[in-house]
Structure 1
Amino acid sequence: MKKILIILLAIITLLAVAYFGFFKYRQIQANSFLIPSNTESLVKINVDELYKTIAISYLKHPEQYKGAEKKDLKQRIEDLHTGIQIPANIYLFTLKGNKENYFTKFKINDSVAFKSFVNKHFKSIKNTAEGRHSYAQLADSSLSLLFSNSEVVFGYHPAKKDIYPILLSVLSNQKSLNFKDSEFESLGSLSDHIAYQSSTSKATINFYDGQVKFNNEFITDQILPFEHPKHRKLNSNSPLIMWLNADFKADVKPLAKTPSIKQNFFKFYKGYLDIEWLKSTNKKDTIISFEFNENFEQVEKKQIVDRKIPELFINMDADAKPLVRYLTDSNLLDTQSNKISTMAIPLFQTYFQSNGNQIQLSTVNQAPFNADRIASDDFFYLYADFNKLFKDSSFPLVANNLLTLKKLESKGRKTGAKKIKFETVIDFQNEKANALIQLVKMYQKLKSTPIQINFGNAMPKNQ
């Protein structure tokens, strides 16, 4: 009996060594490639780690994966019959001067299957003048590829411009260097499911059972967090909380070239903003819509309805007096009733009040003005409890599609000179199924259920 146990232990050990050795070899192979010397940013998709994570989830919770979902990631890829060799890591890169375009390169292990795949999904397949390569595009011209018998380069270009010279340069390894000798070499050793790196930013995404974790650290001189952040003491039971204790460089505050209410309002901002959604209450409201009569004249139609009105508060440090003057002169504020025009904020009647260098926008008239603040390590914080937020929601289509999510929490912290780090966690209602699978299903549901919210024809009357 003892000998049998020793033999079984030895077999298990050998299988474990072979298993980890196999994946280690795939990682080494996947990181032995050339990248263009003018690569500006790189995205790494760790196929093997994703495969292992989802496979373990299958084994732990087989009841969560039914029918076609039982297929693992590797099998799903192989079912495409692309003829492409899928490495342990897939790398997407952008090039200097082409930030909006992404490129990636694969080896072809079955040229017949690959050409069949291209003929099925791409149009206008042409042989190049040299005769050694073939070029093809999708019908909408957003994805192009250039391939030989052994390799293929894909180029995603939403602007739909001609990127053939770039594809040829990448396929031919012109002006290239070894990935291991590049500034992106550290990506190769990361076990994160998705990792991104540029000269100013590093980010990772990981998909677990019922949870997604996203981290992003970047260098910027545009966001200026306060050295000792503070925020108002907000209700921990609120379904939605957000605060921001940071300033912005003056040239960042205008968010677009065309002036707008939002821009003009934002220029009064003085380093602090918070948002709090306490609860929703039933309220009778007047909805104004417009329709055409038999003479094709547009007439106003009023309807009294019961609505869920959120108790929503927005507090901001601001130059209160010039802001009040701006809102009044723009006919956006009635100083007698303190009502904000529904042309500025649709859907819910909003009230305005100020207190020295602070202002408050609220759906509650004469709401208490609490200016007391507490210290925090984070200059930014966002928390959303989707269970509470969409309970008895006024927008059932939104609620039905997003209630796959349970809660979201995001923190922003200054980590060095001009360096900021955001850490975000998204929890799902289903804690057993892998988050990536749930996100795919949620996307498919959203795609098949158009969500339309008409702000123009459903405004409360501005009395």
Structure 2
Amino acid sequence: MNKKKIIVPLVLLLAVAVYFVVFHKNKNLRYIPENADAVVLIDIKKVTGQYLFSLATNPSHWSGSQSKGKNSGSLKDSGIRIPDFLQIFHIKDTKFSEWYSILELKNSQKFIAFLKKQNFVDKGNNRFQKDQLFIMINGDHCVAGTSDLAFESIQKKLLKASSNSVRDADLFIHNTTGSISFISGQKIQNFSIELHDNEIEIKNNLNSEIPTIIASKLQNENHFLEVELDKENIRNFSRFFNKSMADSSQIEYFKATADLEQVSDTIISYEYDDNFNEVEKKTFQKLTQPNYTLDIKSDDPDNTWKYFQSKKWINSENQFTAIPFQPNQVSRNNDDVVIKSTRTPVSFSPPIKENYILIKNNTLLYSSLKMLSNTEKRIISDIDYVLYGNKSKDYWVKIKAKNGELPLILRW
């Protein structure tokens, strides 16, 4: 038999197999509720391809990766049907910290065994919890979330509905590792997520020059926190706390500089001796607190000051009580309201006339993160800085990791 007649169809079959395994994706998104106002999509096949390429080009990690897989259990063999796009959503009018996802199961009993192996606690009624991750199993589906408050409504609207609305992945993601999308009625605003060797970038304009401009201006800054925001950015961020605060206070500009310091805190308690005499007892603990200077500019500083007073944020000693880290002093100067911590003075860095938030890593930060798992602490300790930037309609976030021998996808 002619060898060419055998090789050609084999090559074609291999090409078809590679296409369906690597490139072909089911773009039907069935598990995003109608009342979702934010959606995160992760392209699982793209992430897998990126992981395999990084693994192939870093042979020093091969043995470590294999041993880790044996000890922790393989997600592929957990009973979950791995989707082409992982769908994570936030429901309107719920807490910002509440995010959910629905996965299909191939074998629910196998998945329960996997959860127990991962030290999830069985809460009864097919519900499991580990730290701040909650799982509910419903037939051949599971709902995962950072909370379980919406489990019942998700179960009724998505898992019991006879016909769920199906969305197309192209509405949210365009050939990137992932995406974050904000939904308002029929309007969808998409932000791409790109995973690089030492950083993660999130932006809505792939051609934006914001990263280069802002990063170059801030390259010599060493403070823990640097912030400079205009009125529009203040309004956007205030939505997470108080929707009316930005408009009511008439703030036009905000700048902040902060550093971290470890201080000793004295706790006084009382005990009684054998003769029932009261004895004072002092204990000491180390606390991490910020030293800061905040500058708030307003087109009507008198009204801003009155607004703060109406909220009872300024006491009789001119301390700004809305900031829990005391002591501080608040004062007015022309168009400015300035708030300064008084323990250790912090000087302002020169303004760069850009909208940005820069958070640099600091070892003192770890002591206040006791509620996080060891894995989460390890990831945070590996971050160098987080930088947000905005110019006009372009928004961008960079999570920069410390340089390491391995790319992020193998480290995290």
Q: TM-score normalised to the size of structure 2? A: 0.63
- Residue 397 of structure 1 deviates from its aligned partner by 5.9
Residue 292 in 1 paired to residue 270 in 2?
Answer: yes
CA contact (8 A) 1:410 1:425 kept: yes
The one-letter code of the counterpart of 1:356 is N
CA contact (8 A) 2:256 2:293 kept: yes
Q: Which residues in structure 2 correspond to 1:182-331 (within 5 Å)?
A: 184-187=169-172, 189-196=174-181, 198=183, 199-215=187-203, 236-239=220-223, 240-247=225-232, 255=241, 267-268=248-249, 270-277=251-258, 287-294=265-272, 312-318=292-298, 319-321=300-302
- Residue 274 of structure 1 deviates from its aligned partner by 0.8
> 2:120 corresponds to which residue?
none
- Residue 381 of structure 1 deviates from its aligned partner by 0.1
C-alpha spacing 1:334/1:19, structure 2 compared with 1 (3 Å): farther
* Counterpart-to-counterpart distance in 2, 1:62 and 1:434: 12
In the alignment, structure 2 segments of 5+ residues that lack a partner are: 117-124, 206-216, 371-376
Residue 31 in 1 paired to residue 27 in 2?
Answer: yes
> 1:412 corresponds to which residue?
390
Aligned residue for 1:410, secondary structure, equals: strand
Which of 351, 369, 373 does residue 329 from structure 2 map onto? Answer: 351
Which of 305, 311, 315 does residue 332 from structure 1 map onto? Answer: 315
* Counterpart-to-counterpart distance in 2, 1:122 and 1:249: 42
Identical-residue share of aligned pairs (%): 12
> 2:213 corresponds to which residue?
none
Size of the alignment, in residue pairs?
A: 357
The one-letter code of the counterpart of 1:89 is F
* Counterpart-to-counterpart distance in 1, 2:266 and 2:33: 60
* Counterpart-to-counterpart distance in 1, 2:249 and 2:59: 55
- Residue 76 of structure 1 deviates from its aligned partner by 3.1
CA contact (8 A) 1:153 1:167 kept: no
Residue 154 in 1 paired to residue 110 in 2?
Answer: no
* Counterpart-to-counterpart distance in 1, 2:287 and 2:174: 54
C-alpha spacing 1:426/1:20, structure 2 compared with 1 (3 Å): farther
Residue 117 in 1 paired to residue 110 in 2?
Answer: yes
In the alignment, structure 1 segments of 5+ residues that lack a partner are: 1-6, 109-113, 124-135, 218-232, 258-262, 416-420, 440-463
The one-letter code of the counterpart of 2:85 is N
* Counterpart-to-counterpart distance in 1, 2:112 and 2:287: 54
Q: Greater CA radius of gyration, 1 or 2?
A: 1
- Residue 202 of structure 1 deviates from its aligned partner by 1.8
CA contact (8 A) 2:328 2:339 kept: yes
The one-letter code of the counterpart of 1:237 is E
- Residue 65 of structure 1 deviates from its aligned partner by 6.2
Aligned residue for 1:51, secondary structure, equals: helix
> 2:18 corresponds to which residue?
22
Q: Which residues in structure 2 correspond to 1:39-54 (within 5 Å)?
A: 40=36, 42-54=39-51
Say which is worse superposed, 349-358 or 293-302, in terms of deviation: 293-302
* Counterpart-to-counterpart distance in 1, 2:171 and 2:304: 49
Aligned residue for 1:384, secondary structure, equals: strand
Residue 76 in 1 paired to residue 74 in 2?
Answer: yes
- Residue 272 of structure 1 deviates from its aligned partner by 0.9
> 2:122 corresponds to which residue?
none
CA contact (8 A) 1:314 1:361 kept: yes
> 1:451 corresponds to which residue?
none
CA contact (8 A) 1:205 1:214 kept: yes
C-alpha spacing 1:38/1:433, structure 2 compared with 1 (3 Å): same
- Residue 398 of structure 1 deviates from its aligned partner by 5.3
* Counterpart-to-counterpart distance in 1, 2:61 and 2:227: 34
Q: Which residues in structure 2 correspond to 1:364-375 (within 5 Å)?
A: 375=353
- Residue 117 of structure 1 deviates from its aligned partner by 1.4
* Counterpart-to-counterpart distance in 2, 1:200 and 1:58: 35
> 2:360 corresponds to which residue?
385
* Counterpart-to-counterpart distance in 1, 2:336 and 2:411: 42
C-alpha spacing 1:38/1:162, structure 2 compared with 1 (3 Å): closer
CA contact (8 A) 2:128 2:136 kept: no
CA contact (8 A) 1:93 1:104 kept: no
- Residue 314 of structure 1 deviates from its aligned partner by 1.0
The one-letter code of the counterpart of 1:245 is D
C-alpha spacing 1:27/1:413, structure 2 compared with 1 (3 Å): same
> 2:214 corresponds to which residue?
none
CA contact (8 A) 1:46 1:191 kept: yes
Could you say what the CA RMSD is over the residues aligned between the two structures, in angstroms?
5.3
